[in-house]
Amino acid sequence: MPRCPGCFVMLTMTNYGGVNVKTCNSCFGTWISRVSLMHIVRAVEPPDAGPDTPSLKDLAALVTEGHNKRRFPCPECRQQMTIDRLHPMIPVDMQFCGKCAYVWLDVGKLAMTQRLYHALTNSTDPKIIEIRERYALASLGMEVQKERMPAIGGAAAGALGQAMRYPTPYGVGGGFDLNTLVGMLDF
C-alpha cells in the first residue's frame, strides 16, 4: 500500500459510494485513480442532505483549511505531481500523476468536487446555466470515455477541441474562487 505523500503514513483502503479509494487516516486525503474519480463525480449520487452532511459552506472551509499548496511526489512512482483541476467550473485544486493516472485530493476535496458537479449540473440559476453551457460541463462524460479508450487519443482527441483537454490548465475558465461559487449555489 502506498504512503500518504504529505504525512507518510500507510494509506488504507476505504469505500466511497461503492468505489474503492485509498485514504490517509492522519490528514484524510484521498489517493484515487482518475477513472474512479470520474466515476464518483459523475455517477455516484452525493449523500442526501441530512444532519450529518456538512453544508457546502462548511465543506468549503474544510477544503480551504486543508489545502496543500506544495507539490507532492507521486506516492507510487515518486515523480513530482502536477497541480490542476478536474474541470474549469470546479475550483478545487488536486494533484495529478500523469504517469500513474492517479490523483491526490486533500481533505474534503473528493466530496466537494462531487457535490459541486451535481450542484452545477442541476442548478437553475441563469448565471450558472450560462457558464455551464460555455464550459461544457457535459464534456466530463467524454473524458470518461477517453479514459476507457486510450486508443482514440492523439488526433481524434485533438479534433474534439478545447473541452476535451485533460487535465484542464490551472486557472482557465470562470475565474471562480471556491467560496464565491459556493455562495452562488445557495445551499
152 to 171: interface string for Zn ion, x by CB under 5 A: --------------------
Dihedral sign for Cα atoms in the order 94, 96, 101, 107: negative
d(CA 61, CA 63): 5
d(CA 72, CA 82): 8
Number of residues that bind Zn ion (CB under 5 A): 12
Per CB under 5 A, does 3 bind Zn ion? no
Closest-CA residue to 17 (of 2, 1, 30): 30
Per CB under 5 A, does 4 bind Zn ion? yes
Pick between residue 4 and residue 38 the one whose CB is nearest to Zn ion: 4
For Zn ion, the binding residues in 69-108 under the rule CB under 5 A are 74, 76-77, 97, 99-100
Per CB under 5 A, does 11 bind Zn ion? no
User: What's the closest the beta carbon of residue 80 comes to Zn ion, in angstroms?
Assistant: 9
- Footprint of Zn ion on this chain (CB under 5 A)? 4, 6-7, 24, 26-27, 74, 76-77, 97, 99-100
